[in-house]
Structure formats: structure tokens, C-alpha cells
Structure 1
Amino acid sequence: IAVDDALREKIFPNVRWARYIAPEGNPKNNERPVAYIIILVNKEISFGSFFKYDVGASAENITLAALEEGIGCCWIGSFNRVKIQNILKITKEYRADLVLALGYPLENPEYYDIEKGKSIKYYKDTWGVLHIPKRKLADIVHIDYF
């Protein structure tokens, strides 16, 4: 967990922010995360891809706990792994797998359902409102049969 101001300043340029709306999606100085949680995988004991379930479950539980406290959480899978590991002095047996950026949300995004096959690409409108299309639950969940 990185909360030190100087450390967060070093981490910030090594993560990609909202690529679909870059550079507008990059947090301004007063919008930057107050903490980063880097989820690590021990390469010496994790085989295959099963560890991804552990990473996802950990990230989701952290996200839910943060939201309960009024803290927003953004999962970031696109980051400079080598630089982040060097900044945090992560030893070679570990791999930084996911970055969670935590902070106090300033936006109220608009979520809406999309038709099957349509783009899930998010965007900001002319008023600066973030629109996030979501697949309908009925399109991604199959009960009894596919």
C-alpha cells in the first residue's frame, strides 16, 4: 500500500488513466489518488492462471470495503510493471499484477445498458459527464443452458 506523497508522485506517471478519453481522463493534481494498493503475485508458488481468481477476489473485496467508507477505487491493469516494481523495491519473486487507485470521487458517471454487440467504450460528453455503457445482465448471464 503506497500512501506516502513522494511515493505516490513517482507511481502516478507509470499508470495509464482512462485511455479512451486520454488525456482528459488523466486526474488533475487535486484529483489524484490518495493511495495505491499494488496486488502482488508470488511467482514461486503461483502456477498456471488460477492466481487471477485470487487477484480478482482480493480487488473486489478491497473495492467494496473502500466504497463502504466513501472511497472510490479504480482497477488499473495497464501500468509500467518494471518501473512500479523498482519504485516500490518489490523483490524478484513477486510480480505486480494489478494496481488499485483509491481516492474520493468527484464525478457522478452515467451508467446505461447497451444492446448486445454494441461498444462498451466510455466517453465524456460536452458537459464533461462521463458515460459508461454496460452490457445487460441478461446478455452475459445464462441460467441452466447457454
Structure 2
Amino acid sequence: MEYVIAVDDALRKKIFPSLRWAAYIAPEGNPKDGERPIAYIIILVNKEISFGSFFKYDVGASAQNITLAALEEGIGCCWIGSFNRVKIQNILKIPVGHSVDLVLALGYPLESPEYYDIEKGKPIKYYKDASGVLHIPKRKVADIVHIDYF
């Protein structure tokens, strides 16, 4: 893996329209001017040395560690997997042989989402209420963790 860290304001402005934000609540979920990320970390896969699909585990572990380190500094991190890869590749001048796998958007959190457990089989669609509070349903631990057997 390799990384491009985009902190330049003009560069971040070029990257922003290529990202898809909060699909369930678009366009309301799109950050507005003054709320946009202070940096992007673009995780690349060097296809010349990464074979098969195992690199996905490396990308996930790397992204999680970056997220935890950012959180320790009071910086929020949003994983973005829905974006225009060709545009990002061109904007950042990423060479052939490398692919853009994940974009991490970093910034200081402006929201305090509310998380709640849902019953098995219920939809996991998040939403904003009339007050603008983001509600994020989560499956119960007991529904996703199986001890000894499935």
C-alpha cells in the first residue's frame, strides 16, 4: 500500500466533488462550505506487488489504525468507498499500476450521532431527524457474534 495525503486547500476542493457522501441522506449529508474535511488520506494499492484480494485486509487494518490515531487527536475520520476512481487518479496524478482503494476524510466532528440497537432483520438505514441529529442503527452484538458455533 501507498498513501497520498491531500492537505492543500485547492487540491481538497478538486477532490471533494468526486466523493459520494452519506448516500441514504444525500444531498443533506454532504458537508457544506466550512464543514469540509481538513485532509484526505487516499489509500493506494500497488498492483505490481499486491496480488489476489488479500490487500483488502491490509487496507482495512491500515484505515482502522489511521482512524484510531486521528480520534486520539480529536479528529474524526470518515471512510469513503464510493467515489470516482478515475477522477481521483487523474487529480492526484497516480501512475498506472496503482489503484485508489479507499479515501479517508479527516476533520473536526461537528455532529454527535446517536447510535441505537435494532432488531434482527430490520433495516440499517441511517437518517437525520427534524432537529438535524444523525441516527445510526446498529445490529446487536448478540446477532453478529457466534460463540463456538454459528
Instruction: Pick the TM interval, shorter chain.
Output: over 0.9
One of 79, 82, 85 as aligned partner of 1:81: 85
User: How far 1:48 sits from its partner (Å)?
Assistant: 1.4
2:147 aligned partner: 143
Q: In 1, Cα distance between the equivalents of 2:50 and 2:95?
A: 15
One of 115, 119, 122 as aligned partner of 1:118: 122
Amino acid in structure 2 at the alignment position of 1:35? A
One of 124, 129, 133 as aligned partner of 1:129: 133
Q: In 2, Cα distance between the equivalents of 1:52 and 1:135?
A: 23
Give matches, 1:39-54, under 5 Å: 39-54=43-58
2:59 aligned partner: 55
Is 1:68 matched with 2:80? Answer: no
Q: TM-score, normalised by structure 2?
A: 0.96
Q: TM-score, normalised by structure 1?
A: 0.99
Q: In 2, Cα distance between the equivalents of 1:130 and 1:91?
A: 38
One of 13, 34, 44 as aligned partner of 1:9: 13
**Superposed CA offset, 1:85-142 (max 9, x none):** 1100001111000000000000000000001111111000011000000011111111
1:33 aligned partner: 37
Partner SS, residue 58 of structure 2? helix
Q: In 2, Cα distance between the equivalents of 1:82 and 1:122?
A: 28
Give me the identity figure in percent. 87
Q: In 1, Cα distance between the equivalents of 2:146 and 2:126?
A: 25
1:95 aligned partner: 99
Q: Which runs of 5+ in 1 are unaligned?
A: none
Q: In 1, Cα distance between the equivalents of 2:38 and 2:51?
A: 33
User: How many residues get paired?
Assistant: 146
Partner SS, residue 145 of structure 1? coil
Q: Which runs of 5+ in 2 are unaligned?
A: none
- Runs of 4+, deviation exceeding 3 Å: none
Pairwise CA RMSD: 0.5
User: How far 1:145 sits from its partner (Å)?
Assistant: 0.7
